[in-house]
Homo-oligomer: A and B are copies of this chain.
Amino acid sequence: MTRQELIDLIKRKRSFLCVGLDPDISKMPQSLDGDKFAFNRAIIDATAPYAIAYKPNLAFYEMHGAKGYLAFEQTIQYIRDNYPEMLVIADAKRGDIGNTSRMYASSFFDTLGVDAVTVAPYMGEDSVTPFLGYDGKWVILLALTSNRGSADFQMLKDTQGTALYEHVLTTAQQWGTPDNLMFVVGATHGEMFRDIRRIVPHHFLLVPGVGAQGGSLAEVAQYGLNEDCGLIVNSSRGIIHASNSDDFAQVAEQKAREIRDEMSQMLTAHKIL
């Protein structure tokens, strides 16, 4: 998916909502008997009118071994077959030496056919650039994450007072462009979006941490929206596990619609629609 296609999709659907497909069996209705692919299908069908992206996190599939990996593949294929307009993000947080990152890139882009992969920056340029060599595909690089541990290293400052996550934002712009590179910035750092937008005015930001993790959509939008929207905001538990009963898909639809309605107003207020 190109940047322009993504912007068009956001405007057409009046939404910048990404649904995190992170199913937790203990929160799925018993009637599904732990079938994560069946759960995802129901969630996808219910939320597709209100979302522009789906983001399965690999951990929730790998934990079941090869069987879980198959549910991941089936989920990707189901979206590709039924909702081909959607941005599909593999939340994998990979990153390895160049030789090995090339394997991961091929795995996600060639074998699975996803549009975007989250990548960890710790190992530097040759761990990231192999993911950037695919037309219409995206790297989403961790910059400032939504969790408490983001303070441990990401906020360490150098002699000029520049934090590590700011170095990541700056340095990575030598590797990729707003056409193939996005950044992860957690919603839990609402006000810091203002400073981050100074460093990356044009790049799309993938924003986790709204909902269960306590981030504010209003704050993220206020400081994070740019002239093309420039935001993809993820909600996972707040949508997919809003109900643990057989009405989970209905409740997910309602939650997704509510967020879309909020986003639609924000896009209008910011004159993006």
Q: Name A residues whose Cβ lies closer than 8 Å to a Cβ of B.
A: 22, 57, 59-60, 62-67, 69-70, 73, 93-98, 100-101, 103-104, 106-107, 111-112, 120-128, 142, 145-154, 156-159, 164, 167-168, 171, 208, 213
Quote the shortest CB–CB distance from A244 to chain B (angstroms): 16
Cβ B57 vs Cβ A100 within 8 A: yes
| Cα-based distance from A208 to B99 in the complex (angstroms) | 13
| Cα-based distance from A97 to B214 in the complex (angstroms) | 14
Q: With A57-B100, A159-B159 in contact, is A149–B124 under 8 Å at CB? A: yes
| A63: contacting residue among B106, B154, B157, B171, CB under 8 A | B106
**What B residues does A154 contact at CB under 8 A?**
122-124
Cβ A94 vs Cβ B93 within 8 A: yes
Quote the shortest CB–CB distance from A191 to chain B (angstroms): 20
Cβ B69 vs Cβ A146 within 8 A: no
Cβ B142 vs Cβ A123 within 8 A: yes
**What B residues does A159 contact at CB under 8 A?**
157-159
Cβ B122 vs Cβ A122 within 8 A: yes
**What B residues does A158 contact at CB under 8 A?**
156-159
Copies in the complex: 2
| Cα-based distance from A69 to B67 in the complex (angstroms) | 9
Cβ B59 vs Cβ A107 within 8 A: yes
**What B residues does A157 contact at CB under 8 A?**
158-159
Cβ A59 vs Cβ B147 within 8 A: no
A157-B158, A158-B159 given; name 16 further pairs at CB < 8 Å. A57-B100, A59-B96, A60-B103, A62-B104, A63-B106, A65-B69, A66-B67, A66-B73, A93-B123, A95-B120, A123-B149, A123-B154, A124-B149, A125-B149, A126-B149, A156-B167
Cβ A125 vs Cβ B148 within 8 A: yes
Cβ A107 vs Cβ B63 within 8 A: yes
Cβ A150 vs Cβ B124 within 8 A: yes
